[in-house]
Amino acid sequence: MRGLRASAVVLSLTITTFLAASPSAPAAAGAPPEPEVTSLVTISVPDTATLEKVVATGADLTERVRPQPDGSIQVDAVLSEGQLAALAPLGVEKAGAPAAQETPKTPKAAAADQIVIERAVWFRTRDGYFLSVEATSSAGPTATLSAAWRGRGGASGTVPMVPYTDAGAYLGHQLSTPAPVADRPSWVTVTSAGGGTAQARVKEWPDGERPDRTIPGYRKDFITQYMPPGQLNERVKALHRQFPRLTDVIALPYLTNGYRRHAQAQFGAVVVTSLAYGSEGGNDLAMELVDPGAQGRPLQVTVNGKLITVSLATDASGAITSTAAQVIAAVNAGAGSLVKATPYRTDNGQGVVAPAPLTQLSDFLKAPADVSREPARVLALRIGAHRDGSRTGVLAYAQEHAREWVTPLVTIETAERLLRNYARDPATRRLLQRTDIFIVPTVNPDGANYSFYDYNFQRKNMTNHCPAAQADPAARNSWGVDVNRNYAVGSLFDGYVGASANCLSGTYAGPGEHSEPESRNVIWLARTYRNIKFAMNVHSYGGYFMWPPGAYQAAGRVTLPRPTKAQEAYFLRSARTIEEAIAAERGTVTWPQQTGPVTDVLYSAAGNSADELWYDFGIFGWDFEVGNDIWNPATRTWEGVGFQPPFEEGHKEALEYASGLIAMIGLAADYRAP
């Protein structure tokens, strides 16, 4: 609650408790309870107000949000069929074919409206020329605007524009997506059906300074595969061994909870959870529910070493009479030093339980034995010729979200390039002379292991804060805290939008600010190394480049304070320099619509790290969303790349965004505090 404290509004939004809504029955006795199957789907949301409601449900949205010509919004999300159905009452459905470009009909305004062209840019990608135009009308979102462009070679065309509103606030009109055009556009005229018109020259995007030039023979491309946390740590240590004069390894102080879970088994409406972690003996336990095969027997629990036997009660006819509630009480009384028994979800415990064969408890973790089950140490690699706090510090940290496999590769590729080119490339030498770089390839190693070995869509860390009613084994893919909602500025607890209090939600904020070691480690770096002035929070996917504010309050969409005009200009100018470096690799362009404050270009993300770095530490806190859409000329649509694209694509993303990160280090090298 430090920093910008807002009124402590408790969000009164309806939280859809997905699991409670799920109709799935308890697992059959003996069968391992399986989580609902989820998939990456593109959903269509009717409007921005509804999108805000969807965010408030805590649904597991990705970071790819695309406004459509009809005012609807398409968002990629990780959902089960049941979760998708739970969103249907809001008007959410699976996106079909892209809506036809249709100009909305609106009544003509009496007097001509005033049009201001905020931005008109062209850019060239590997797929050709694209035009992007943003303009505002004094008539607001109901105005009907179109953009007519003229190319250098004489070609021309007209593209409809769509209003863009966020939480009811009109932000202007834009092309629904940057439009592919036949020629390099030079002039654009925006015309309103209300009579207003404006003209502007179309500039090249991004139009920043060229990134630092490197010599021929500059070495790059040090990534050969996706890397789980163990390999990332090995690479960090290997780089330090090879470049001891240019690096330090910093062991961050807060150990994670570890890639580990308590062992569980489910017997109808009875859930049994080991007190010890699975890896510390819980997995060795086994339990059976036995029909005594005799009349008038009492309910009895016996423990023999690691074996728990529940002999069920029978009546005078020999029929079993023990209810789930009775079994739970008996197990807790008779085997309470080994396990805790609880009812399944909202079950009332009144049903009679069935006998069940001997069932081994399991933590259900599938990583090979050489993946440590102990609390994990998070490592930072500090790089620089003068690591004494006298140089401008740059922090690059990745994989707050476990499933974003490309993001650690961006940081490793960056570290490799800086170190292996230091001796040969003057531009690199200059960077290491003038800056002090802190690289954290994986903030969330436990979640990352879970994503690699158990559930590839894992977003959060692995710490289960759920009460027993939400902690049955089939819920295990939904546990954990969204590390990037666990910070202390503009948080859920301060009344900001875009994090959930539901422990099963994709955006669960945790039981309190900084409750998680993963977030405390990031802030520890900022607090300990006060020379850090720049930070890049590396995420995927969607192709964004963003900065604060990253959150607003529910009431009135009051954002965290906007940067000053001068700061905003610096953010934007720097963004263009960095985007230029990214584009230099293979023509990947970060669209202007996806360059800006988080709240403007994505959605509100309460309690994210970049906001805390900026507002509490004065660090220029940026977010990358690596993995730009790919243009499909056959369908004439942009397609998202996903969290774990084929390595061939992930590899290219790592290379281009490493160039972006190095461009940011270049900005830091030139930075002079005002």
Residues that bind Zn ion (CB under 5 A): 401, 539
- What Å distances lie between residue 40 and 88, 408, 458, 480, 647, CA to CA? 17, 21, 12, 19, 18
- Rg (C-alpha) for the chain, rounded Å, is 28
- DSSP secondary-structure letter at 58? T
Residue 56: name the closest of 604, 576, 578 by CA: 604
C-alpha 519 chain-centroid distance:
14
Nearer to Zn ion, 401 or 651 (CB): 401
User: How many other CB atoms sit within 10 Å of the CB of residue 37?
Assistant: 9
SS (H, E, C) 185-206: EEEEEEEECCCCEEEEECEECC
Using the structure block, give the residue that is written with the tokens 């009660």: 313
Q: In angstroms, give the least distance from the CB of 393 to Zn ion.
A: 23
Q: How far is the CB of 618 from Zn ion (least distance, A)?
A: 24
Task: Establish how many alpha carbons lie within 13 A of residue 127's alpha carbon, considering only the half-sphere containing its beta carbon.
Answer: 18
Neighbours of 239 (CB within 10 A): 23
- Considering the complex, what minimum distance in angstroms separates the CB of residue 93 from Zn ion? 25
- In the bound complex, what is the minimum distance in angstroms from residue 171's beta carbon to Zn ion? 23
* Min CB(556)–Zn ion separation in Å: 27
Q: Distance of CA 434 to CAs 312, 386, 651, 659, Å?
A: 73, 8, 29, 18
Closest to Zn ion by CB, 401 or 514:
401
The DSSP element (H or E) to which 612 belongs, if any, is helix 609-617
Adjacent-strand bridge partners of 42: 76
What ranges in 377-425 are assigned the alpha helix state H? 406-421
Query: How far are the Cα atoms of 193, 240, 511 from residue 249, in angstroms, in the given order?
Result: 61, 7, 31
Residue number with CB closer to Zn ion (326 or 444): 444
Among candidate residues 480, 529, 463, 484, the one with its CA nearest the CA of residue 252: 529
Q: Which two tokens stand for residue 323?
A: 């209810």
Q: Tell me whether residue 167 or residue 398 sits nearer to Zn ion (CB atom).
A: 398
CB of 63 to Zn ion, least distance (A): 6
Of 387 and 401, CB closest to Zn ion: 401
Give least dist CB 551 to Zn ion, A: 15
Q: How far is the CB of 78 from Zn ion (least distance, A)?
A: 12
| Least distance to Zn ion, CB of residue 497, Å | 17
62 vs 322, beta carbon nearer Zn ion: 62
Residues 19, 475 contacting (CB under 8 angstroms): yes
- Give the nearest distance from C-beta 522 to Zn ion in angstroms: 14
Q: For Zn ion, give the closer residue by CB, 6 or 661.
A: 661
Which residues does 400 contact at the CB level (< 8 Å), separation at least 6?
Answer: 443, 444, 483, 484, 518, 522, 537, 539, 609
Tell me how far apart the alpha carbons of residues 528 and 516 are, in angstroms, rounded to a whole number.
18
Peptide bond between residue 206 and the one before it cis (omega within 30 degrees of 0):
yes
Query: For Zn ion, which is the closer residue by CB, 64 or 373?
Result: 64
Give the whole-angstrom CA distance, residue 408 versus residue 654: 8
Q: How far is the CB of 548 from Zn ion (least distance, A)?
A: 16
Least distance from Zn ion to the Cβ atom of residue 400, Å: 6
For Zn ion, the closer CB: 278 or 549 = 549
- Confirm if 664 and 622 have CB atoms less than 8 A apart: yes
> Is the CB of residue 78 less than 8 Å from the CB of residue 39?
yes
Q: Of 404 and 579, which has the nearer Cβ to Zn ion?
A: 404
E strand intervals along 284-355:
286-290, 300-304, 307-311, 339-343
CB of 643 vs Zn ion, minimal distance in Å: 9
Region of 647 on the Ramachandran plot (φ > 0 left; ψ -120 to 50 alpha; else beta): alpha
CB of 401 to Zn ion, least distance (A): 3
The smaller minimum CB distance to Zn ion, of residues 63 and 425, is found at 63
Residue 86 or 398: which CB sits closer to Zn ion?
Answer: 398
- For residue 402, give the nearest of 465, 450, 464 by alpha carbon: 450
Q: Which is nearer to Zn ion, 22 or 484 (CB)?
A: 484
Residue 121 bridge partners (DSSP): 132, 203
Cβ closest to Zn ion, residue 387 vs residue 459? 459
Say whether the peptide bond before residue 441 is cis (omega within 30 degrees of 0).
Answer: no
Helix (H, G, I), strand (E, B) or coil at 508: strand
| Closest listed residue to residue 595, CA positions, set 542, 659, 537 | 542
Nearer to Zn ion, 460 or 539 (CB): 539
Q: Spell out a b/e string for 396-410, using b for 16 or more CB atoms within 10 Å of the CB, else e.
A: bbbbbbbbbbbbbbb
